[in-house]
Amino acid sequence: MDNFEWVFGLNKRFGLYHVNFDTQVRTPKLSASFYSNVITKNAAGV
């Protein structure tokens, strides 16, 4: 999920889920789907 980075504070967002810090709602990013497929197939290729 998005988190606090010491160098960038809360300005840079990275992770598998976008977090709305006001509502705490977490929304999966496209990378979450990709990573899920990598885990399921046990491969990063096609």
Domain ranges of the chain: 1-46
Q: How far apart are CA 13 and CA 43, in angstroms?
A: 26
Tell me what pLDDT residue 44 has: 76
Tell me what pLDDT residue 30 has: 92
Mean pLDDT by 10 residues, the chain (46 residues): 67 83 92 91 78
Which secondary structure element, helix H or strand E, spans residue 34, and what is its range? helix 30-41
Residue with tokens 């709602």, as numbered in its chain: 25
pTM above 0.75, yes or no: no
Residue with tokens 């967002």, as numbered in its chain: 13
Sorted by sequence, the CB contacts under 8 Å of residue 10 that are 6+ apart come out as 2, 4, 21
